[in-house]
């Protein structure tokens, strides 16, 4: 009898632990980044607040985007943010949104003579982005075939500044923040408009998704989201 009780307790503990939600993201300032050993950013802060409000246990980890996206799609109880909600991804996840709404721009290094006026003209140049980022799919959908795929945003930006790529996609809000910080970059044209979200593995219970969405809805309604976006140098387009 004691053996059965101990075994039952161990099994119960395992099930409880398995119900924790594992949140993964990439280092992509100002949405998510490390500072003094802590995770910060407009999306990180929103996720932490909504998870606390939802009363759900969770862990958070930062890693290259391709790995984060793959974990959320393939591993039970995993969610990835900040993920663009597009047609290709829609059926593969359960969604909590919006963490942000905005446009994606194609940018160049300041002073560059590269100045495409249309998306078709931009296809003549080498465009860099992150492997498995939604912008990689977006570029391919638009017919771009001269692509340079890096592991993360910072590496792509570094390549742009070194002249190793001609153009790169970036959110309009992040572009504005980098410019305000002195980054020598310039916009060429608008590539797309989209909603940025939390994308969860389909194993995450609908009840948990509903609690997460209610937590996000609350911080949007009470102005917390707008305040956080402003704090990190972004502009809210989601309200």
State yes or no: pLDDT of 10 exceeds 50: no
The pLDDT tens digits of the residues spanning 14-60 come to 444 448 999 999 999 999 999 999 999 999 999 999 999 999 999 99
In this chain, the answer to whether the domains covering 2-101+196-231 and 102-194 adopt an identical fold is: yes
Tell me the per-residue pLDDT of 86-133, one tens digit each, with 9 for 90 and over: 888 999 999 999 999 889 999 999 999 999 999 999 999 999 999 989
pLDDT confidence band for 235 (50 / 70 / 90): low
User: For residue 149, what pLDDT is reported?
Assistant: 97
CATH topology of domain 2-101+196-231: D-Maltodextrin-Binding Protein; domain 2 (3.40.190)
pLDDT of 14 reads 40
Predicted confidence at residue 39, as pLDDT, reads 98
- pLDDT at residue 2 in the model: 43
Q: Taking the domain 102-194, which CATH number applies?
A: 3.40.190.10
- Write the DSSP assignment of the chain as a string of letters: -HHHHHHHHHHHHHHHHHTSEEEEE--BTTTBEEETTEEESHHHHHHHHHHHHHT--EEEEE--HHHHHHHHHHSTTEEEEEEEE-TTTGGGSEEEEEEEEEEEEEEEETT-----SSHHHHTTS-EEEETT-HHHHHHHHTT---EEEESSHHHHHHHHHTTSSSBEEEEHHHHHHHHHTT--EEEEEEEEEEEEEEEE-TTS-HHHHHHHHHHHHHHHHTTHHHHHHHHTT------
Model-wide pTM > 0.85: no
Of 60 and 7, more confident: 60
Residue 213: per-residue pLDDT: 98
146-192, pLDDT tens digit by residue? Answer: 999 999 999 999 999 999 999 999 989 889 889 999 999 999 999 99
Domain positions in the chain: 2-101+196-231, 102-194
Tens of pLDDT, residue by residue over 213-228, are 999 999 999 999 999 9
């Amino acid at each position: 009898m004691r053996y059965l009780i101990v075994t039952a307790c161990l099994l119960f503990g395992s099930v409880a632990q398995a119900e924790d939600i594992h949140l993964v993201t990439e280092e992509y300032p100002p949405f998510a980044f490390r500072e003094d050993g802590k995770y910060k950013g407009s999306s990180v802060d929103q996720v932490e607040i909504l998870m606390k409000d939802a009363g759900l246990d969770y862990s958070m980890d930062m890693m290259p985007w391709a790995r984060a996206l793959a974990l959320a799609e393939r591993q039970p109880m995993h969610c990835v943010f900040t993920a663009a909600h597009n047609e290709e991804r829609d059926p593969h996840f359960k969604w909590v949104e919006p963490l942000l709404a905005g446009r994606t721009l194609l940018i160049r290094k300041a002073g560059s003579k590269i100045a495409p006026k249309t998306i078709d003209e931009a296809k003549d140049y080498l465009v860099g982005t992150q492997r498995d980022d939604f912008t990689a799919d977006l570029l391919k959908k638009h017919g771009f075939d001269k692509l340079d795929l890096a592991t993360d945003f910072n590496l792509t930006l570094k390549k742009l500044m070194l002249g190793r790529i001609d153009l790169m996609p970036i959110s309009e809000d992040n572009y504005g923040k980098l410019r305000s910080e002195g980054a020598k970059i310039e916009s060429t044209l608008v590539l797309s408009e989209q909603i940025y979200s939390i994308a969860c593995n389909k194993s995450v219970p609908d009840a948990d998704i509903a609690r997460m969405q209610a937590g996000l809805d609350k911080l949007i309604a009470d102005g917390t989201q707008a305040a956080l976006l402003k704090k990190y140098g972004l502009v809210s387009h989601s309200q």
